[in-house]
């Protein structure tokens, strides 16, 4: 469901910074998105340059001593017992990067590569990895010039960090390997550097290892998925409200007093959203009276805030983990005071777990969305609407196969919810005998987020038609605004069958861009869908 690699977009919004300044503190999720998705440039501040210089002094001092120091005067992984003479140490770092750039498969998306580059730069800028200021500066220059190394899909076990993906990035700093320039053209790294007026670096002691030993790929994908899910969970509330309205559901179960009886934060938020989105609905008001014989709605309507709310709480937990990871220095060995110490901070378990946890939440939100869509299409359950919302049922099939599309995606999302982080395959001659598979967890979450976007789009499309078929009853202002948005983008209302796929793709775009949520929010009082 995810697309192949393309150049990072240069478009920005009024909220996008013109430049991200990297210091010794962590970058923010907003800065990560700006650099990764909007092509924003980067520079190191004076504090970072000073920290880099100090850290480099420590490494140079250690490199001049006789005692073995991992990553400085020894081999790597299971080869750590081999002492490397001074004359071979530059070759040691160069060989490390070349050998570890062993990825395979399709190109990873540009935004993922830019994200991991920024996060690695942020760790380097702490001064605790021992790289030279000029090495970190070249990484910043690649981001600013929008030179993106080609990173392959497979190669990371999530421990020691994302070795292969980061090695492909480090290779470009040497002027080797392939990159894409700002226009998306594939060319040798040396040519791209020369065209931008940049010179490749000659790696010194420890620099190769410091460039590749981090959780930056999986963390970057977590941060971007979290940003997407914030929007999609709001969209899910909008879609659900339209479905509840169109299916003649009750809004009483979302009341403030009921929600307070089980005060999970996410459930309280989704309940409040549903109350606001259904306010002033003529459709809901039409069946509030004593003549209504339905005591309870189906779970897919009634339990919406419980499912959407649990997903919100899961996301909040994942964001807390991501925040701690952003504030971490992930490298091995790492500078502590005036020495370097081996450690296991590169292990991706903390990030891998929440990536998998989010995939579970995504699958469940999509699952309940598809169930609401399906209710619209079944004349036995949609309370008076035509079968499949068709114009002339039998001649027309309506949205029958749109539900198939959603169902097929939901089935895949359930498979993607199987955790990657419970797996481990020993590597490096059993030195690295337990790995996180966090990169794999991140890759499948990206695919899951794309799938949820599409499932919600099918629900919005279906619910919009269902609401319109309740005419002359007047829908809630938020629902009416979303229906108008769809019409404005060429998605017609009820009528004879038409080519359905373009309508779905149009609504996918409106969901992914935030236009659906923006339309609903504009129809509500300020703060009602905050």
Tokens of 155: 């190669």
| Bridge partners, 180 (sequence order) | 148, 186
Element (H, E) at 44: strand 41-44
d(CA 404, CA 374): 9
d(CA 338, CA 333): 13
d(CA 155, CA 438): 12
- Contact between residue 398 and residue 387 where contact means Cβ atoms under 8 Å apart: yes
Tokens of 124: 């380097």
| DSSP characters over 181-217 | -TT--EEEHHHHHHHTT-------TTHHHHHH-SSHH
Q: Is the dihedral of CA 378, 379, 383, 385 positive or negative?
A: positive
Neighbour count for residue 396 (Cβ, 10 Å):
18
In Å, the largest CA–CA distance within the chain is: 90
Which residues contact residue 46 at a Cβ distance below 8 angstroms, ignoring those fewer than 6 apart?
A: none
Helix (H, G, I), strand (E, B) or coil at 20: strand
**156, 165, 398 from 106: Cα distances, Å:** 14, 12, 37
d(CA 466, CA 480): 12
Q: Kindly tell me the burial class for residue 293, based on how many C-beta atoms sit within 10 Å of its own C-beta (0-12, 13-18, 19 or more).
A: exposed
Which residue among 70, 154, 299, 404 is the active-site one?
70
Active site residue 70: yes
Closest CA to 223 of 468, 37, 480: 37
- Contact between residue 89 and residue 95 where contact means Cβ atoms under 8 Å apart: no
Tokens of 498: 């038409």
d(CA 278, CA 298): 17
d(CA 197, CA 23): 24
Neighbour count for residue 10 (Cβ, 10 Å):
10
Neighbour count for residue 504 (Cβ, 10 Å):
20
d(CA 383, CA 392): 17
d(CA 302, CA 306): 9
Q: What angle do CA 196, 36, 416 make, to 5 degrees?
A: 135
Closest CA to 180 of 197, 167, 192, 171: 192
Closest CA to 147 of 100, 105, 102, 194: 194
Tokens of 351: 């990030």
Active-site positions read 70
């Amino acid at each position: 469901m995810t697309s192949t690699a393309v150049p990072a977009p240069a478009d920005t919004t009024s909220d996008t910074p013109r430049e991200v300044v990297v210091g010794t503190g962590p970058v923010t999720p907003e800065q990560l998105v700006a650099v990764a998705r909007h092509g924003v440039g980067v520079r190191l501040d004076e504090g970072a340059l000073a920290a880099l210089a100090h850290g480099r002094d420590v490494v140079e001092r250690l490199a001049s001593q006789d005692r073995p120091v991992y990553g400085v005067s020894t081999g790597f992984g299971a080869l750590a017992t081999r002492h490397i003479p001074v004359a071979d140490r530059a070759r040691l770092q160069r060989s490390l990067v070349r050998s570890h750039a062993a990825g395979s498969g399709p190109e990873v998306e540009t935004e993922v590569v830019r994200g991991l580059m920024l996060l690695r730069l942020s760790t380097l800028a702490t001064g605790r990895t021992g790289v030279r200021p000029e090495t970190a500066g070249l990484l910043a220059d690649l981001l600013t010039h929008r030179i993106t190394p080609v990173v392959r899909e497979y190669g990371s076990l999530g421990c020691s960090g994302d070795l292969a993906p980061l090695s492909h990035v480090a290779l470009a700093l040497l002027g080797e390997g392939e990159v894409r320039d700002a226009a998306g053209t594939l060319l040798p790294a040396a040519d791209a550097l020369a065209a931008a007026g940049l010179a490749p670096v000659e790696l010194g002691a420890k620099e190769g290892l410091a460039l590749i030993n981090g959780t930056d790929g999986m963390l970057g994908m977590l941060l971007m998925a979290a940003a997407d899910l914030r929007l999609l969970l709001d969209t899910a509330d909008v879609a659900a409200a339209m479905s509840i309205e169109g299916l003649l559901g009750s809004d009483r179960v979302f009341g403030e007093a009921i929600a307070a009886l089980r005060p999970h934060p996410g459930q309280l938020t989704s309940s409040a959203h549903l109350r606001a989105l259904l306010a002033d609905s003529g459709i809901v008001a039409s069946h509030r009276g004593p003549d209504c014989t339905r005591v309870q709605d189906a779970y897919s309507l009634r339990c919406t805030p419980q499912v959407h709310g649990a997903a919100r709480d899961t996301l909040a937990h994942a964001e807390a983990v991501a925040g701690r990871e952003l504030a971490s220095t992930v490298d091995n060995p790492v500078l502590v005071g005036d020495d370097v110490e081996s450690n296991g901070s590169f292990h991706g378990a903390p990030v891998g777990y929440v990536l998998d946890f989010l995939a579970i939440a995504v699958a469940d939100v999509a699952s309940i969305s598809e169930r609401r869509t399906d209710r619209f299409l079944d004349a036995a359950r949609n309370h008076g609407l035509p079968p499949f919302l068709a114009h002339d049922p039998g001649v027309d099939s309506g949205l029958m196969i749109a539900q198939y599309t959603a169902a097929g995606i939901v089935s895949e999302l359930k498979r993607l919810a199987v955790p990657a982080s419970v797996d481990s395959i020993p590597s490096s001659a059993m030195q690295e005998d337990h790995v996180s598979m966090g990169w794999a967890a991140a890759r499948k979450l990206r695919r899951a987020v794309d799938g949820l976007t599409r499932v919600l789009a099918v629900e919005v499309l279906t619910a919009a038609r269902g609401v319109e078929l309740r005419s002359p009853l007047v829908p809630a202002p938020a629902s009416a605004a979303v229906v108008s948005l769809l019409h404005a983008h060429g998605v017609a209302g009820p009528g004879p069958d038409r080519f359905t796929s373009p309508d779905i793709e149009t609504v996918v775009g409106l969901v992914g861009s935030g236009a659906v949520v923006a339309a609903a929010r504009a129809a509500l009082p300020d703060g009602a869908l905050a």
